């Protein structure tokens, strides 16, 4: 994929949050309507024949793209949120981050065994949150799980793709 327009509008911030890290700021892609349209159309092309019934948007930037894609696919939105952000009864998954543990939650009635689910997040460079969401969604026993990241970081010798060996994984941009 690697759409040149998206690459041109993706901001890189060297030495953020610490020296040696080249931070990819995806918020610049939301400032441009053409970027949002390109992302949504490319995702639609990837998943239009997969019979997706639910799209899980991960807190919180990806609620935007999940919503635009769900509209095109006629799918429902499931919000994966930090603890105590969802109003009804939830199921949670706790996971390790660099310096602490965190949790992610989904409403307990959000997914069922008949669903085909797409998990969507911004960056495959650190995998903790998405792996926790994948584990959480597996508790619902859906028919199939697909995973999509906007960006896959490969230029730093990272190979996180192997962590998601049992779900079909796609990315729109590899850098």
Catalytic residue set: 61, 98
- The CB-based long-range contact list for 166-173 (8 Å cut-off, 24+ gap) reads 167/119, 167/134, 168/144, 169/124, 170/46, 170/146, 171/1, 171/124, 172/1, 172/2, 172/3, 172/6, 172/39, 172/42, 172/43, 172/148, 173/1, 173/2, 173/3, 173/6, 173/7, 173/10
Beta-sheet pairing, 116-124 with 90-96: unpaired
Residues 6+ apart with CB under 8 A from 20: none
């Amino acid at each position: 994929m690697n759409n040149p327009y998206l690459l041109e509008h993706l901001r890189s911030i060297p030495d953020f949050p610490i020296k040696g890290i080249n931070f990819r700021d995806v918020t610049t892609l939301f400032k441009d309507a053409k970027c949002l349209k390109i992302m949504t159309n490319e995702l639609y092309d990837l998943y239009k024949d997969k019979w997706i019934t639910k799209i899980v948007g991960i807190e919180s930037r990806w609620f935007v793209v999940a919503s635009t894609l769900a509209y095109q696919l006629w799918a429902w939105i499931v919000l994966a949120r930090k603890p105590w952000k969802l109003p009804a009864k939830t199921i949670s998954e706790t996971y390790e981050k660099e310096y602490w543990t965190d949790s992610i939650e989904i409403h307990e009635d959000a997914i069922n065994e008949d669903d085909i689910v797409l998990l969507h997040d911004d960056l495959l460079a650190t995998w903790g949150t998405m792996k926790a969401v994948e584990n959480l969604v597996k508790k619902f026993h859906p028919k199939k799980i697909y995973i999509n990241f906007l960006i896959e970081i490969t230029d730093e010798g990272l190979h996180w793709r192997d962590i998601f060996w049992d779900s079909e994984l796609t990315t729109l941009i590899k850098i």
